[in-house]
Amino acid sequence: MLILASQSPRRRELLAREGVRFEVVVRETKEEHDANLPPAVLCARNAAAKAEAVAAEFPQDTVVGADTLVFLDGVPLGKPADEAEAVHMLMRLQGRIHSVCTAVAVILPGGERRDFTETTYVRFRSLSEAQVLHYLSLVHVLDKAGAYAIQEHGHLLVEKVEGDEDNVIGLPVKRLLQVLAEV
């Protein structure tokens, strides 16, 4: 059985869209937010912690953990605490290119690991504070890294995406399916 060790409804939707059969099991883990770590390392540690917590209980199953962070100038932008922080994040992103890194930890039955990271680059439009506030009136962003969801009115913010858009949503599904097919 495939287990997704993630609370993210977006990750569930992405897997379901591809016709993947899976169950969701989530265990409490502490996410790292060390800005001194390279983006891929920080995301990989968080993804591994999520997968390992579940795989310890389900060693006979394949467990997938994932972590997505938005990075601007190498500094992680997590989930905003409130609307004011969301406005601040989006104003920092406006008119600039940032990276979205998702790390995926795949733990196979017996404990073998197949981990990978995917990075996508996103260019935001130049935005006024009024445009940012309009976007925030349409989309709940307090549970989203970087304070935005590309799949929800993302056209209001995003000018260009270089790479896998599913990665920006939270899971590079095509690459995950390739890894699962190899095993």
How many other CB atoms are there within 10 angstroms of residue 90's CB atom? 24
90: Cβ contacts below 8 Å, ≥ 6 apart = 124, 127, 132, 135, 136, 147, 148, 157
The pLDDT of residue 39: 86
| Angle (nearest 5°) at CA 46 between 40 and 50 | 140
Q: Which of 148, 5, 140 is nearest to 70 (CA)?
A: 148
The per-residue pLDDT for range 43-52, each reduced to its tens digit, is 999 999 999 9
Alpha carbons 35 and 75: distance in angstroms, whole number: 6
Asked if residue 169 has pLDDT above 90, the reply is yes
- Active site members: 67
The pLDDT of residue 33: 79
The pLDDT of residue 132: 98
The pLDDT of residue 157: 98
- 105 in Cβ contact with 68 (< 8 Å): no
Phi, psi angles (nearest 5°) of residue 68: -120, 130
Beta bridge partners of 120: 100
The pLDDT of residue 78: 84
The pLDDT of residue 60: 97
Alpha carbons 130 and 127: distance in angstroms, whole number: 8
149: Cβ contacts below 8 Å, ≥ 6 apart = 10, 139, 141, 169
Q: Which of 133, 130, 41, 155 is nearest to 86 (CA)?
A: 133
Asked if residue 126 has pLDDT above 90, the reply is yes
Percent of the chain whose pLDDT exceeds 90: 88
pLDDT band at residue 37 using 50, 70 and 90 as cut-offs: confident
Query: What crossing angle do the helices spanning 9-17 and 173-182 adopt, rounded to 10°?
Result: 60
Asked if residue 36 has pLDDT above 90, the reply is no
CATH classification code of 2-182: 3.90.950.10
Region 149-155: mean pLDDT is 96
CA 180 to chain centre: 19
Domain boundaries defined on the chain: 2-182
Percent of the chain whose pLDDT exceeds 70: 100
The per-residue pLDDT for range 50-100, each reduced to its tens digit, is 999 999 999 999 999 999 999 999 888 988 999 999 999 999 999 999 999
Write the DSSP symbol of residue 31: P
- Coil vs helix vs strand at 175: helix
Q: Which of 175, 180, 42 is nearest to 107 (CA)?
A: 180
Q: What mean pLDDT, rounded, does the chain reach?
A: 95
Region 5-11: mean pLDDT is 93
Region 172-178: mean pLDDT is 97
